[in-house]
Amino acid sequence: MKREVKRELLDELPAGDRGAIGARRDLQKVNACMGHAHIMVRALAGTFTGRSPRSIVDLGAGDGTLLLRLAKSIAPRWKPVRVVLVDRQRLLSPRTKAEFAALSWHVDSLEMDVFDWLQRPHPEPSDVTIASLFLHHFKEHDLRRLLGHAADQTGFFLACEPRRVNFSLCAAALLGVIGCNRVTRHDAKISVRAGFAENELSALWPLDEGWRLRERQAGLFSHCFVAQRIPGPVL
């Protein structure tokens, strides 16, 4: 299937639109079906063995509940983490913020375009940057630019996106069965067609031998990309 990026309804609708509000709730179900929190926990736990990252940035974070689910699963093994949620809409609820606080994770939610945030000077790189159901919004040129900035900003980049295959398209057509609304059913098909396969994200990561790249199918419907900075020699 050839990759095709189209505008999604959720990106066009005002935040207060009933369909948009329902679709944001649906995203929690979609993420649960795709297993993104679980996939990410496994990738992070396998990398950060015996040490905790101090900071996690979530690009296109939505309401932050995906990262909260991840945090609940991994918090007992890690020291407290500083979290930055970047999204062009401010969607973090007081309840989600309180749930992060209960884990001793401090959250900042920034209402910003991802490029504006990535191009800002960052006093310290983040230990981890994640993206779930976000990269597929961008065409190749912007994606290359986004990944280039991310490589300057983090030491570990992890993305879970739709896998661009017919099987995912069939699953997207069945989302009504789990109660997803018209907006979600429409956007899910667009998201699969804009999703990824093979080594498409690795090909857009900056050419630099200082990174270890992995890209593979994850779960039933997802495509996972990991870029990990290879530690340099201690001088």
Instruction: Determine if 31 is a binding residue for ligand SAM (CB under 6 A).
Output: yes
CB of 235 to ligand SAM, least distance (A): 38
Q: Smaller CB distance to ligand SAM: residue 35 or 125? A: 35
Cβ 11 to ligand SAM shortest distance, Å: 6
- Residue 89 lies near ligand SAM (rule: CB under 6 A): yes
User: Residue 92, interface with ligand SAM (CB under 6 A)?
Assistant: no
Considering only the stretches 44-52, 60-68, 72-80, 195-203, report the one whose residues sit in contact with ligand SAM under the rule CB under 6 A: 60-68
Size of the site for ligand SAM (CB under 6 A): 16
| 157 in Cβ contact with 224 (< 8 Å) | no
One DSSP character per residue, 114-165 reads HHHHHHS--SS-BSEEEEES-GGGS-HHHHHHHHHHHHHHBSEEEEEEEB-S
Amino acid in the structure at residue 52 = S
- Work out which of 25, 42, 88, 229 binds ligand SAM, going by CB under 6 A: 88
Q: Does 113 sit near ligand SAM (CB under 6 A)? A: yes
Taking CB under 6 A as the criterion, the residue among 69, 97, 137, 149 binding ligand SAM is: 137
Give the separation between CA 28 and CA 63, rounded to whole angstroms. 9
Q: What is the number of other CB atoms lying within 10 angstroms of the CB of residue 207?
A: 6
Rounded CA gap, 142 and 149, in Å?
11
